[in-house]
Amino acid sequence: MQTMRTIEWRDGTLATLDQTKLPNENLILEMRECEEVAFAIKEMKMRGAPLIGVAAAYGLALTAYHSKAKTREDLIRQIEASAKILIETRPTAVNLFWAVERILRKARGTTGDAETVTRVVVNEAQRMADEDVEANLKIGEHGAELINDKDVILTHCNAGSLATVDHGTALGIVRTAWAQGKKIAVIATETRPKLQGARLTAYELKRDGIPVSLITDNMVGYVMSRRLINEVVVGADRIVRDAVINKIGTYSLAVLAHEHNIPFYVAAPKSTFDLVHTSKDAIIEKRNADEVTYIGSQRIAPMGVKVLNPAFDITPIKYVSGIICETGVLSKTKLEKLATASKHG
Amino acid sequence: MQTMRTIEWRDGTLATLDQTKLPNENLILEMRECEEVAFAIKEMKMRGAPLIGVAAAYGLALTAYHSKAKTREDLIRQIEASAKILIETRPTAVNLFWAVERILRKARGTTGDAETVTRVVVNEAQRMADEDVEANLKIGEHGAELINDKDVILTHCNAGSLATVDHGTALGIVRTAWAQGKKIAVIATETRPKLQGARLTAYELKRDGIPVSLITDNMVGYVMSRRLINEVVVGADRIVRDAVINKIGTYSLAVLAHEHNIPFYVAAPKSTFDLVHTSKDAIIEKRNADEVTYIGSQRIAPMGVKVLNPAFDITPIKYVSGIICETGVLSKTKLEKLATASKHG
């Protein structure tokens, strides 16, 4: 595990690594205002569904901590204003909305003065960060049971410690299996357009000494047809009743895994579940064309070319072999039952 | 059609666009020695199976044209030495071997002095260039019959005029359908690691006014699941008895098209067919790790990370809806018959 959490509360300052600078530069961002947190989420300086959930909670904690509000009501109004800014940053990962709701509910449910509300909000954000680490450690344990000695695991994007407070979801499973002494290796897709696989997954696995090889996204079929991998493990941005919504490319991986009879696992904490909705309700964020036509400052396509840039795609549950969360491994059948219960609940 | 052929013989000089510089710079390479041609093929300044076939033929023509050999025998030995250099540049595209063989056979079969052999070799290279254009125009006609008005065609890599002497194979079909007045559009995958889709396909279609949108390779599943395309049309580097060998990523596209019931067509001239072999005989070129870890001068992955970089993959015939060549559209059944005939022939 890394020595610093991906996000840390330091007496009214929020510290994180600027993930857009990795792996070439380790730049620590220090934020004191919720607007800075919102900007960092929008610009993907912080990314990963669990991380942006906790970051949003801490963003509201910053608002409370630095507020000059004299009354409980004024403070709650300020927190609500910050919440509004945060939930407009990115539409797909449900953790963001879950975290903001949880802090708002806690603040509104607290009696006492502004100082008391502030203390409660900061403590709740801290608790959410701790819970994320605990959830990932449990996901790691449950998931590692599915990983055999000498397995090679294909992963996409970055569902690692950098996508969470610590340990990671998909890579948390890898870390736990590795810590158990299993001689595993990872193949990471580079994950265009933002290259989280090349920049972040390869970086954090190399740092921890876990064998990792990098491929371009279009090598997945090749790697599967040659049986170079034993299973696919990815994270999730939102798990709805009928599908897993995750980084663009996940759906292609799932179809290819299905065709090759390779298990396809999704690792995510319960905060990523949104079982009151189905995939047709989900908003798939469309990001800027420049993410595709430039890599850094380098233009790689003719000027004026049209671009599609959906940031996520939708993988129907039928392609998912299991969802690994903090309470265990949900099979397709279990997930369907949970979804039905939530529908009627 | 472009005003200049992708490769042109100009009285003992061979002119081509340096494709590694596109789309940012139009740099014309002028080559007078076969070694320069071999280098340009190896470095992918010229690429595309049909183009490197014709380029190799012209490379041998350069050797003959500038030779100081006094005898037919000396000249043929020099041509053979050049042939050896050419066939070591890239192992997968069969057109290279086919073209070198054809020139060698022609030279060896010519009686008369060195000057006569030179004239025959240069003429044969010219004829091969002309035949490539004719084949592409015919592929365009046959293929365009499969394209409906308002279709959107997904293509991979660059099987365009830049991959051939002119017109293109997959993009030749697009050009012919467009010239017939069909209001079609193209979605081009960027095609990592070398970005031929972003740099070359988007470039040549935009230049010709044909609507084109760019996607990253991992968006293919998304685009198919939303029915944003009507068919896939790609080129080929080698068509063996049981499979199509083409740019890495083609196999993933074919499996995804199959899963979505979207026709998957391969467009290639007969010079790309190698029906005496099967996929297990094929050599898949592995290229340098730097192609994956750098984009231009920009490093995008941690130093020392392991990389897989197969340049091609193998698509079994069962995923191919039809192969469009200069004599028509070969169905799976027809291809299998052709393969059997060739096996016994």
From start to end of chain A, where are the E strands? Answer: 7-10, 13-17, 28-31, 152-155, 185-189, 212-215, 231-234, 238-240, 243-247, 264-267, 294-295, 298-299, 306-307, 312-316, 322-325, 328-330
Q: Among residues of chain B, what percentage have pLDDT more than 90?
A: 93
- Taking the C-alpha atoms of residue A234 and residue A284, their distance in angstroms, rounded to an integer, is 18
Quote the radius of gyration of chain A (alpha carbons, Å): 20
Residue A192 Cα, gap to closest chain B Cα (Å): 6
Q: What's the maximum distance between 2 C-alpha atoms anywhere in chain A? A: 66
Beta bridge partners of B316: B243
Q: Which one of B214, B297, B308 has the shortest CB-CB distance to A301?
A: B214
Rounded Cα gap, residues B194 and B236, in angstroms? 17
Is the pLDDT at A82 greater than 90? The verdict is yes
Question: What's the pLDDT score for residue B251?
Answer: 98
Distances (CA, A) of B203 to A107, A157, B23, B49, B250: 55, 29, 6, 19, 20
- Is the per-residue pLDDT at B334 higher than 90? no
Alpha-carbon torsion (B226, B230, B236, B239), positive or negative: positive
The tens digit of pLDDT for each residue in B12-22 reads: 999 999 999 99
* Pairing outcome for strands A231-234 and A152-155: parallel
CB environment B36-57: b (16+ within 10 A), e (fewer)? bbbebbeebbbbbbbbbbbbbb
In this model, does residue B123 exceed pLDDT 90?
Answer: yes
In angstroms, the CA B87 to CA B206 distance is 34
Residues of A in contact with B258 (CB under 8 A): 259
pLDDT at B339: 67
Look at B344 and B171; give whichever has higher pLDDT: B171
Decide: residue B285, CB within 10 A, 0-12 exposed, 13-18 middle, 19+ buried.
Answer: middle
Residue A328 has pLDDT above 70, yes or no: yes
* B22-28, long-range: CB < 8 A, 24+ apart: B22/B162, B22/B199, B22/B200, B22/B203, B23/A301, B23/A302, B23/B199, B23/B200, B23/B202, B23/B203, B24/A299
A13 contacts: CB under 8 Å, gap ≥ 6:
A30, A31, A32
Distance CA A133, CA B139 (A): 58
Length of chain A: 345
Tokens coding B68: 């100081």
Question: Domains of chain B: which residue ranges?
Answer: 7-137, 148-344
pLDDT tens digits along B289-324: 999 999 988 999 999 999 999 999 999 999 999 999
- The per-residue pLDDT for range A329-338, each reduced to its tens digit, is 998 788 777 6
Question: Cβ contact (<8 Å) for B301 and A213?
Answer: no
Q: Rounded to whole angstroms, how far apart are CA atoms B15 and B32?
A: 9
pLDDT at A1: 43
pLDDT at A68 over 50: yes
Q: Which chain A residues have a beta carbon less than 8 Å from that of B227? A: none
* Residue B189: Cβ within 10 Å count: 31
Work out the angle at residue B96's Cα, subtended by the Cα atoms of residues B19 and B15, and round it to the nearest 5 degrees: 40
Most B CBs within 10 A among A154, A253, A280, A300, hence the mutation to make, goes to A300
When pLDDT is averaged across residues A62-72 and rounded to a whole number, the result is 97
Rounded to the nearest integer, the mean pLDDT of chain B is 95
Tell me whether residues B219 and A248 touch, CB distance under 8 A: yes
Q: Is-contact B232 B260, C-beta < 8 A?
A: no
Spatial distance between the Cα atoms of B254 and A159, rounded to a whole number of angstroms:
28
- Interface predicted TM-score of the whole assembly (ipTM), two decimals: 0.95
Arithmetic mean of pLDDT over chain A:
95
Sort out which chain B residues have CB atoms less than 8 A from A17's CB and list them: none
pTM for the complete prediction?
A: 0.96
Q: Look at residue B297 in the predicted model and tell me its pLDDT.
A: 85
**Probe site for chain A from B20, B205, B218 (most A CB atoms < 10 A):** B218
Task: Give the residue from A280, A266, A313 showing the smallest Cα distance to B225.
Answer: A313
pLDDT digits (tens, 9 = 90+) for B239-250: 999 999 999 999
Of B43, B68, B72, B46, nearest to B57 by C-alpha is B46
- Token pair, residue B124, equals 């044969």
> How far is it, in rounded angstroms, from Cα A329 to Cα A176?
15
Report d(CA A16, CA A27) in Å as an integer.
Answer: 8
Predicted local distance difference test score (pLDDT) of residue A201: 98
Is the per-residue pLDDT at A307 higher than 70? yes
Other C-beta atoms within 10 Å of A136: how many?
Answer: 32
Interacting residues of A24 by C-beta distance below 8 A, sequence separation 6+: B299
From B25's Cα to the closest Cα of chain A, the distance in A is 10
- pLDDT of A345 reads 43
pLDDT for position A334: 81
CA separation, residue A208 to residues A142, A190, A314, B303 (Å): 21, 18, 31, 14
Query: Closest partner residue to A292 among B156, B216, B302, by Cβ?
Result: B216
Q: Which of A296, A301, A304 sits opposite B298 (nearest CB)?
A: A296
Please check the confidence at residue B3 and state whether its pLDDT lies above 80.
Answer: no
Residues of A in contact with B251 (CB under 8 A): 221-222, 225
For residue A324, name the pLDDT band (cuts at 50, 70, 90): very high
CA–centroid distance for A136 within its chain? 11
**Centroid of chain to Cα B227:** 28
Whether the pLDDT of residue B344 is over 60: the answer is: no
**Which pLDDT does position A288 carry in this prediction?**
96
Q: Which CATH superfamily is domain A7-137 in?
A: translation initiation factor eif-2b, domain 1 (1.20.120.420)
pLDDT at B6 over 90: yes
The two three-digit tokens of residue A338, written as one number: 């949970």
User: What is the bridge-based pairing of β-strands B328-330 and B238-240?
Assistant: unpaired
* Catalytic residue chosen out of the listed positions A237, A274, A290, A313: A237
| pLDDT for residue A339 | 67
Q: What is the mean pLDDT of residues B87-97?
A: 94
Split at pLDDT 50, 70, 90, the class of A282 is confident
pLDDT at A78 over 80: yes
Pairwise CA distance, residues B58 & B37, whole Å: 8
> CA A335 to CA A189: how far, in whole Å?
27
pLDDT of residue A332: 78
Percent of chain B with pLDDT over 70: 97
B167-193 pLDDT per residue, tens: 999 999 999 999 999 999 999 999 999
Does residue A132 have an active-site annotation?
no
* Number of A–B residue contacts, CB under 8 Å: 186
Bridge partners of residue B324, in order along the sequence: B267, B329
Binary contact (B302, A195; C-beta < 8 A) = no
Which residues, including other chains, have CB under 8 Å from residue A266's CB and lie 6 or more apart? A233, A234, A235, A236, A239, A244, A246, A315, A320, A322, A323, A324
Domain spanning A148-344: which CATH class is it, in words? alpha beta
**CA A85 and chain centroid, separation:** 20
pLDDT at A296: 82
Closest-CA distance of chain A to residue B256, Å: 7
Return the minimum-mean-pLDDT range out of B118-122, B163-167, B265-269, B336-340: B336-340
